[in-house]
Chain A
Amino acid sequence: MIWNSLSEFWAMGGYAEYVWGSFGVAALFMAIEVAQVSYERKQTLLRLRMLQGVQEPAMDSHA
């Protein structure tokens, strides 16, 4: 551990906006992608079930 305090860690030697801008955006976009593929799968399963008559169309209204 090279940091003496949490504030020193956040400050990143004066490069906070560049370092956290890089790691933050990467983490955010990867989280969005994970949410997106999971949402897409749920929507696809609902849609296919409706098409095949496995599920009542009413079920989709609150999805």
Chain B
Amino acid sequence: MTLHFKFWFRFASPQAFYALAGRLWPGLAVLATLLGLWGLWLGLCVAPTDFQQGQAYRIIFVHVPASWMSMVIYMAMAFWALLGLTFNTRLSGMMTQALAPTGALFAFLSLWTGALWGKPMWGAWWVWDARLTSELILFFLYLGFIGLTAAIDDPRRADKAGGLLALVGAINVPIIYFSVRWWNTLHQGASVSMTQGSSMAQTMLTAMLLMALSFWFYAIAVALYRVRTLILVRERNTHWVGELLKTEELSQ
């Protein structure tokens, strides 16, 4: 138990995490690319046409994975924020900040692809419906987090304020997820349910899960890459960063 505890807390040190993230991101980026290409091939060229929606349904292969990631990344931010506020670990605030732009990107893509799907199917780019509105709030929470942390000069205070916002805003994520059940909504119900399994054809489901996995690895790779830059900036006065700046290749 103590051994495990020590093992994990070793990576809470920015120096150890910098090295770990540097080893992890290239492999994750390759995985994201390969799974993405496979998912696109299945989704765009192999999966059969939907009998109700024709080819327009193919938007699902980017819309659902992007929407999932927008929620997952927010939960990950809330997790790091909780860790940071309770244990006061330096890395937590950096991880929360490294995840936010990617989360905002996926929230935007969820809204964008949703609008492009809504127009031909519902006849409207946007409706003030529970699912759509709560996802829009999620997008604003990301922007609020980015703006808030950028506006506070002292990194420790920025981490605290941002961490609180990330934690409080996390209540919105289950609201998004369950919105299609709690309220009458134009948005269709879950295609893949944790309790009832999937209502989709096998190829469609495989393509969607491949795209989702690809987005997962993409998000982790980008966040790890971004956190390395943040670590360098925040730890710039330490001995190890000084040594690293003398040796590390500029291209890396």
Contacts and interface: CB of A to CB of B under 8 A. Distances in A.
A1 B218 CA distance: 27
A26 B229 contact: no
A15 B54 contact: yes
A12 B58 contact: yes
Nearest to B246: A54
A29 B245 contact: no
Given A2-B45, A26-B66, A48-B245, A33 B229 contact: no
Contacts, number: 96
B116 A18 contact: yes
Interface in A6-62: 9, 12-15, 17-19, 21-23, 25-26, 29-30, 33-34, 37-38, 40-42, 44-46, 48-49, 51-52, 54
Decide if the interface of chain B is mainly helix, strand, loop or mixed. helix
A25 B242 CA distance: 40
A45 B225 CA distance: 13
B55 A41 contact: no
B45 A1 contact: yes
Nearest to A21: B116
Dominant SS at the A interface? Answer: helix
Interface centre among B112, B245, B248 (most CB of A within 10 A): B245
Given A14-B54, A15-B120, A54-B245, A34 B222 contact: yes
Nearest to A32: B105
Contacts of A17: 116
A3 B55 CA distance: 11
B113 interface: yes
Given A19-B58, A37-B229, A13 B49 contact: yes
Contacts of B59: 18-19, 22
B236 interface: yes
Interface string B208-246: 000000000010001001101100110010000110011
Interface centre among B49, B55, B108, B112 (most CB of A within 10 A): B55
A33 B228 contact: no
Most buried by A among B46, B113, B251: B113
Given A23-B40, A26-B62, 19 more contacts: A12-B58, A18-B59, A18-B117, A18-B120, A19-B55, A19-B59, A19-B116, A21-B116, A22-B112, A23-B44, A25-B113, A29-B109, A30-B105, A37-B226, A41-B225, A45-B248, A48-B236, A52-B236, A54-B246
7 tightest Cβ-Cβ pairs between the two chains A and B: A13-B55, A22-B113, A15-B56, A12-B55, A18-B116, A13-B54, A22-B59
